[in-house]
Amino acid sequence: MSSTHIYNYPKQFKLENGKKLRGLQISYQTFGKLNTAKDNVIWACHALTANADVLDWWKGLFGEKNLFNPEEHFIICATVIGSHYGSTNPLSSNPVTETPYYLSFPEFTIRDLVHGHQLLAEHLGIKKIKVLIGGSLGGQQASEWAISAGSNIENLILVATNAFHSPWGIAFNESQRLAITADRSFYAQKPDGGVKGLKVARSIALLSYRTYEAYSTTQLESVNEKTGDFRASSYQNYQGEKLCKRYNAYSYWYLTKAMDSHNVGRGRKSVIDALNTIKSNTLVIGIENDFLFPISEQEFLGKHIPGAEFHSIKSAYGHDGFLIETDILTNIIGNFLKESVNKKIIKLHKTA
């Protein structure tokens, strides 16, 4: 049984760039109950266009009878600043002008997204998170959170993510933004502005999420005579239209910029030094044929986070495998958490 809430931050929210947001709202969903000790919190950080219903978009890993289930855990997933799904975003009303922000919305970073969720955790009285997990942009949030939270994160799980966004990833995001801004309606200051450009952007993104093998398997033609109306063409159109029905171009544009901003070394001695400060029991999972977040990026995380455990998997779906290969993830994460509990018990025995 889930419940949806809105947290209204009572003060001005200061962004990393110094700008401020008034009337910040964070939309979130919870599943299960917080126990008396408040030590059963599972916090899921969502990827680029997901909502707060983690039991829906991470089925098989989250849900009844799954590894992370509401019968045993108190599961929280909050949408990020800029999200289309309830948190303050470019379509929200600016308290000063009483009209939607659109392109006057201030730019924000991954650290701003994390700061918003940390304020929510404080509001909920949560001082310790048993498991903080995220994939892709969600993993970027989780790594930043773990660096800034010290020992407040017991177990950290990073899937198909990185310590800083690569030139390759930034180039993909910029190509998508070019598609959006080529649609002149993006500047029309209306909720559906840039929708045609968003469709193209999603088509570009999908190529980075999947693999050659995946398209060869699912979109291959069964006849040799075709000269048009290909399955792959229809698929790209369908996926683009599907996103346009549930998301807006402004949120997408801003969130891709936030992803580009990700660098745990910014304002710190170095990327490696920042990762070295993580105190959580950490599991890093990479996908061998991930085209967008190459496995070398997860190997880097595993190498430089103290005591981190690293696993690699292969998925026909490439980067999207982090959402699809839930049986494999359940096995790896389940074993990791069992080992984490055993280490804790041994440590307690030694202390005694």
Known binding positions for substrate: 202, 320
Interatomic CA distance for residues 116 and 15, integer angstroms: 10
**Token code pair at residue 310:** 């690293």
Annotated binding-site residues read 202, 320
CB 116 within 8 A of CB 141: no
Interatomic CA distance for residues 114 and 153, integer angstroms: 13
**Token code pair at residue 168:** 């390759």
Interatomic CA distance for residues 321 and 66, integer angstroms: 18
**CA 205, 156, 295, 330: dihedral to nearest 10 degrees?**
-80
Catalytic positions are 136, 290, 319
Q: Pairing between strand 13-14 and 20-21?
A: antiparallel
Cα distances (angstroms) measured from residue 48 to each of 5, 56, 162, 233: 20, 15, 14, 24
Closest by CA position to 56, among listed 323, 282, 321 = 323
Closest by CA position to 261, among listed 112, 79, 157, 134 = 112
Bridge partners for 76 per DSSP? 30, 43
Q: What is the DSSP letter of 249?
A: H
What is the secondary structure of 298-326 as a DSSP string?
HHHHHHHSTT-EEEEE--TTGGGHHHH-H
**b/e burial code for range 304-326 (CB count within 10 A of at least 16 → b):** bbeebbbbebebbbbbbbbbbbb
**Token code pair at residue 162:** 């990185």
